[in-house]
């Protein structure tokens, strides 16, 4: 009997969540990044004359267009139902897709480019710490794809210079397009040379490399003799090498960052700020979002016109404008609720920094604020938070936890690395001893877990570390 009731409830829910165009639009707005939302608002203002970006003038006695049951309220209820339950009866990984005919490619922005690159990083099998370091580096690339900021300026206690150097050369510079994050033209040309050397290099490798490193600004007729003399090559070999270099790209981005500004700017959706009592709270960033309202003059026009076709046109635009405004309001409220929940679960991070990041999954936040997990996933994608420790994508705060502890795997690995780095090189710590030390620090881990994470960090066994001496 109970199974029958649940089936009936599921059928009723699925029937009530009809994907109307208005609901489709609301879902789309929920998924947009900050800059994409700003562009979408501009588009709506151009397309809908009823929608205006000014402070509304509210007059008493003005009634809204409505049918016996308000379409706007019904759609709004549908959207709230969607936030609470949409996707719970779908297979894992399923998501609503906008029909192909209605699809508009997302607007390519500085923020979306950064997100694309981070998407590539997340697909790599690397520790969370390196993923976070990659985000720092990507956020500092210039319009040509170069990293002009010295690593020592980007380094911090939690992201030391040697870590940033490793992530830059082994992660960021391996992204598509290759060579992103090169610090100068020589480094970028050498990256290309290594690739060409494994494919179709049409000149002696050492000569090409020598010109890049020593004679890059002397590749003219006058410098040719100097190249031949110093690199001990023939003139023909030098000319071939110069031709190879001239065929290379000189900008790592080569059109990838197609925008006017020379910085990749991440615009936060929320700010985590500390009040006078030392407590953190969340503020939404509404500064660049225009205040929207519906022009009531069109409502008067619709009521007074005898032309049925004109009335229907105005009513359609009016309802669309009302729904658009409500959808944006709902979007901002949902982002705020998710951000507040993250603050609750990750309080240690805000007080002490990334080393205090807790294990957290989407379902915990979903249960906390009463929405479906798929809603949290959409809200945290391409949305960013300004924190005392830097700007992070909201998805950053979700990571796997350690069994028996709320601490994240990334934090455990960092502690493990620090213990091994500080060990007596003559008496390296065995995995069993590491387990004991970690347990004293509050980590309930098995020896095989320590062995796995040690291997993930590229650290050999205790006996192998001792044999290095």
Judge whether 449 and 431 are in contact, CB under 8 Å.
no
Between 430 and 105, the more confident residue is 430
pLDDT in tens, 257-278: 554 444 446 788 999 998 888 8
Measured between alpha carbons, how far is 324 from 320 in angstroms, rounded to an integer?
6
So what's the pLDDT on residue 22?
66
CA distances (Å), origin 61, targets 42, 192, 326: 30, 70, 21
So what's the pLDDT on residue 302?
67
So what's the pLDDT on residue 35?
82
> Which three-class secondary structure string do you get for 160-218?
CHHHHHHHHHHCHHHCCCCCCCCCCHHHHHHHHHHHHHCCCCCCCHHHHHHHHHHCHHH
Residue 465 has pLDDT above 70, yes or no: yes
- pLDDT range class, residue 10, cuts 50, 70, 90: very low
So what's the pLDDT on residue 404?
44
- Evaluate if pTM is beyond 0.85: no
So what's the pLDDT on residue 118?
78
CATH fold for the domain made of 409-467:
Arc Repressor Mutant, subunit A (1.10.10)
Judge whether 191 and 178 are in contact, CB under 8 Å.
yes
Residue 187 has pLDDT above 90, yes or no: yes
Close Cβ partners of 416 (under 8 Å, ≥ 6 residues apart): 434, 438, 450, 453, 454, 457
- pLDDT range class, residue 34, cuts 50, 70, 90: confident
pLDDT in tens, 433-447: 888 888 777 666 777
């Amino acid at each position: 009997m109970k199974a029958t009731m649940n089936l009936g409830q599921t059928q009723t829910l699925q029937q009530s969540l009809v994907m109307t165009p208005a609901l489709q639009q609301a879902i789309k707005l929920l998924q947009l990044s900050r800059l994409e939302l700003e562009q979408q608002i501009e588009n709506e203002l151009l397309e809908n004359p009823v929608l205006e970006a000014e402070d509304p003038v509210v007059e008493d006695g003005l009634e809204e267009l409505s049918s016996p049951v308000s379409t706007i309220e019904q759609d709004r209820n549908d959207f709230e139902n969607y936030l609470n339950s949409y996707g719970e009866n779908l297979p894992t990984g399923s998501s609503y897709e906008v029909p192909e005919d209605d699809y508009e490619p997302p607007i390519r922005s500085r923020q979306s480019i950064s997100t694309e690159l981070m998407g590539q990083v997340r697909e790599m099998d690397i520790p969370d710490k390196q993923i976070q370091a990659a985000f720092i580096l990507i956020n500092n690339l210039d319009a040509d794809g170069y990293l002009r900021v010295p690593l020592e300026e980007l380094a911090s206690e939690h992201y030391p210079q040697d870590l940033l150097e490793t992530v830059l050369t082994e992660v960021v510079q391996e992204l598509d397009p290759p060579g992103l994050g090169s610090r100068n033209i020589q480094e970028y040309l050498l990256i290309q040379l290594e690739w060409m050397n494994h494919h179709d290099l049409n000149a002696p490798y050492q000569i090409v490399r020598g010109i890049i490193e020593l004679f890059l600004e002397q590749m003219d007729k006058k410098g040719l003799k100097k190249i031949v003399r110093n690199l001990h090559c023939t003139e023909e070999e030098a000319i071939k090498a110069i031709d190879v270099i001239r065929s290379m790209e000189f900008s790592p981005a080569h059109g990838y960052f197609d925008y006017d500004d020379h910085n990749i700017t991440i615009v936060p959706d929320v700010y985590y700020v500390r009040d006078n009592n030392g407590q953190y709270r969340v503020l939404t960033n509404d500064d660049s979002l225009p205040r929207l309202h519906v022009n009531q003059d069109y409502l008067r026009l619709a009521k007074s016109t005898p032309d049925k076709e004109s009335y229907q046109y105005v009513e359609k635009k009016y309802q669309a404008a009302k729904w658009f405004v409500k959808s944006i309001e709902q979007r901002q409220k949902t982002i705020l609720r998710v951000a507040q929940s993250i603050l609750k679960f990750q309080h240690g991070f805000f007080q002490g920094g990334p080393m205090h990041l807790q294990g957290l999954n989407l379902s915990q936040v979903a249960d906390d604020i009463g929405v479906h997990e798929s809603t949290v996933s959409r809200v945290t994608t391409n949305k960013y938070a300004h924190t005392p420790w830097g700007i992070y994508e909201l998805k950053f705060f979700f990571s796997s936890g350690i069994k028996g502890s709320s601490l994240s795997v990334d934090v455990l690995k960092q502690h493990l690395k620090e213990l091994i780095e500080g060990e007596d090189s003559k008496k390296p710590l065995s995995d069993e001893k590491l387990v004991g030390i970690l347990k004293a620090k509050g980590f309930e881990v098995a020896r095989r877990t320590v062995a796995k994470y040690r291997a993930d960090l590229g650290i050999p066994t205790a006996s192998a570390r001792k044999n290095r001496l």
